[in-house]
Amino acid sequence: MANATPTPRPVPVTEHEKRISALLAPSRVESRALEDCLGLALAEDVTASIPLPPFDNSAMDGYAVRSVDLAEAGAQQPVTLPVTADIPAGRIDVPTLEPGTAHRIMTGSQVPPGADATVPVEHTDGGAERVRVSASVQAGAHLRRAGEDVVVGDTVLTAGTTLSAVHLGIASAVGISQLPVHRPPQVLVLSTGSELVEPGSTLRPGQIFESNGMMLAAAVRQAGGQAHLLRFVPDDVATFHDALAPHLASTDLIITSGGVSAGAYEVVKDALADNGVEFTKVAMQPGKPQGAGRYSPERGTAGAHGVPVVALPGNPVSSMVSFEVFVRPALRRAAGHHADRRPVRQAVLTERLDSPSGKRQYRRGRFDPAAGTVTPEGGPGSHLLSAMASANCLLDIREDTTELPHGSPVDVWLLD
Ligand SMILES: Nc1nc2c(c(=O)[nH]1)N[C@H]1C(S)=C(S)[C@@H](COP(=O)(O)OP(=O)(O)OC[C@H]3O[C@@H](n4cnc5c(N)ncnc54)[C@H](O)[C@@H]3O)O[C@H]1N2
Ligand code: MOO
């Protein structure tokens, strides 16, 4: 027994996280039409080259006036003014408003030189040639001044922003039709396992429907990557390499699930261990067996130039939790998003929980934002996918915690 190889200590979550983060380089920046930018990360700050509003305009449909002309107006004492111009929105040749006159004006129309207020149509008789006004108006009333929202040179969007509908709105409003964005990383998602069959087909004894591939590919898309799914790669090393070959040149990251633990048929491990991918145990539950590295089709050519690989464990909850902990943040950063982490809240536990000593445990739970509480969904078992589907958060229980009494504070990660 003197020469028995010691079992390597499981690596801490934080160390494996760094390893995976280091695998992914920032993705390429390209210019895209706004309609193709939703959900992508902006690569550079956007500054306004025009003010918003671009010109003084009316906030109401009504009449542009000089407020002094209506100083005496009231319900009992209406004032009548000749209407000398009509200014629909978009009119560019707006004439000056002469004293003692009114221009009919629409919301968003340019305020004529000389006018200092709009009287809403509701305070008038709505006349087209002469208008009877039954209320006075303050100077500046119902006007929107140029530059009230944005002045020239303002930064309207910052690099790293995940572009939402309103971001595309403000970019359009300042006249931009294309934006510099990070190209979504191209991710190949692979599932292996002879027991896996296509959902929709008939299960035979010993078979299960493939679910990890579908789930991980969707999670990649939600995180801002572009996923390509290879769902039924046979449990055979040569076939596995052949399946990867046509995708290597166009892939920024390969994610596999299953085939990484200690069994006799661990095709992922068998195919990748000599080709640049290191398999380790991580001090976490679920998600103990993990692989990471750079794949190269030539055996023994581990190194800097292979395609990044993250090999996740096959149990569905282990796969998904490992994706959340290791892959999602790295993928978000590579795709240029400043928001790379799930929002974290502290919640009060509604029941008692145990946690294995020395392991970071991620239990699934339901966070109640109104009550500030969290209730575990299902037990710790990494096959309990339905419980995870009912959850809206992960409970993050530290390595040195072995017991959390009812009422304890616990960090929760809010999921989509
Ligand atoms: N002797 C040991 N056995 C196991 C250990 C260990 O340390 N020693 N670790 C356990 C832990 S923890 C995990 S997690 C799993 C990881 O196993 P693999 O990554 O090798 O995954 P498989 O054995 O291929 O599958 C595990 C489980 O997940 C199901 N699976 C796999 N792929 C899919 C898929 N695409 N869709 C749906 N379900 C999938 C598979 O049928 C198995 O039930 O190992 C433990 N064992
Ligand atoms: O550690 Mo495995 O990932 O739980 O079931």
> In Å, how far from its chain's centre is CA 396?
21
Q: Does some domain include residue 301?
A: yes
- pLDDT at residue 416, rounded to an integer: 87
ipTM: 0.98
pTM of the model: 0.91
- 294 and 407, same domain (yes or no): no
- 275 and 328, same domain (yes or no): yes
**Binding site membership of 288 for ligand 1 (Cβ less than 6 Å):** yes
What band does 152 get if pLDDT is binned at 50, 70 and 90?
very high
Question: Rounded to whole angstroms, how far apart are CA atoms 155 and 160?
Answer: 13
> For the ranges 267-281, 326-340, 370-384, which has the lowest average pLDDT?
267-281
Residue 96 sits in which domain range? 57-144
- 188 and 168, same domain (yes or no): no
Specify whether the CB–CB gap between 353 and 406 falls below 8 A. no
Q: How many domains does the chain have?
A: 4
pLDDT digits 0-9 by tens, 168-193? 999 999 999 999 999 999 999 999 88
| Nearest listed ligand to the Cα of residue 260 | 1
Q: Does some domain include residue 3?
A: no
pLDDT at 3 over 90: no
Residue with CA nearest ligand 2 atom 3: 287
In the listed set 182, 202, 230, which residue is the last one of a domain according to the structure? Answer: 182
- pLDDT at residue 301, rounded to an integer: 66
**Ligand 2 atom with the shortest distance to the CA of 287:** 3
Question: Rounded to whole angstroms, how far apart are CA atoms 398 and 128?
Answer: 74
> For the ranges 122-131, 267-276, 316-325, 331-340, which has the lowest average pLDDT?
267-276
AA identity, residue 274: D
- State mean pLDDT over 127-152: 98
- 120 and 217, same domain (yes or no): no
Q: Does some domain include residue 94?
A: yes
If you average pLDDT over every residue of the chain, what do you get?
95
AA identity, residue 164: S
SS3 assignment, position 293:
strand
Residues with CB under 6 A from ligand 2: 285-288, 313, 315, 318, 382
Q: Please, what's the largest Cα pairwise distance for the chain?
A: 110
From the CA of 24, how far away is ligand 1's center (Å)?
A: 26
From the CA of 360, how far away is ligand 1's center (Å)?
A: 19
- 314 and 392, same domain (yes or no): no
CB burial of 395-413 (b: ≥16 within 10 Å; e: otherwise) equals bbbebebeebeeeeebebb
From the CA of 332, how far away is ligand 1's center (Å)?
A: 27
Which residues on neighbouring strands pair with residue 183, listed in sequence order? none
Q: Does some domain include residue 4?
A: no
- pLDDT at residue 77, rounded to an integer: 96
Q: Does some domain include residue 7?
A: no
